[in-house]
Amino acid sequence: MYSLSELEQLCSECKKCRLCSTRKNAVFGEGSDRADIMFIGEGPGEQEDLQGRPFVGKAGKLLDKGIEALGLSRESVYIANIVKCRPPGNRVPEDDEAASCIEYLRWQVKLIDPKVIVLLGSTAGRNIIGKDFRITRQRGNVIEFGKFKIVPTYHPAAVLRDDTKKADFWSDLKLAVKIYGQIKNC
Ligand code: URA
Ligand code: SF4
CB of 42 within 6 A of ligand 1: the answer is yes
Ligand 2 atom nearest residue 14's Cα: 1
Q: How far is the CA of 87 from the centre of ligand 2 (A)?
A: 10
pLDDT of residue 60: 98
Q: Which ligand is nearest to the CA of 108?
A: 2
pLDDT of residue 179: 97
> What CATH number does the domain containing 123 carry?
3.40.470.10
* Tally of structural domains, the chain: 1
Half-sphere exposure of 81 (CA within 13 A, CB side): 28
Tell me how far apart the alpha carbons of residues 153 and 172 are, in angstroms, rounded to a whole number.
Answer: 6
pLDDT of residue 31: 98
pLDDT, tens only, 54-108: 999 999 999 999 999 999 999 999 999 999 999 999 999 999 999 999 999 999 9
User: CB 183: neighbour CB atoms within 10 A?
Assistant: 12
pLDDT of residue 185: 82
User: What are the mean pLDDT values of the chain's consecutive 10-residue runs (186 residues total)?
Assistant: 96 98 98 98 98 98 97 97 98 98 98 98 98 97 96 98 98 98 87
Tell me how far apart the alpha carbons of residues 146 and 92 are, in angstroms, rounded to a whole number.
Answer: 27
Domain that holds residue 58: 4-184
Q: How far is the CA of 21 from the centre of ligand 2 (A)?
A: 10
User: CB 135: neighbour CB atoms within 10 A?
Assistant: 21
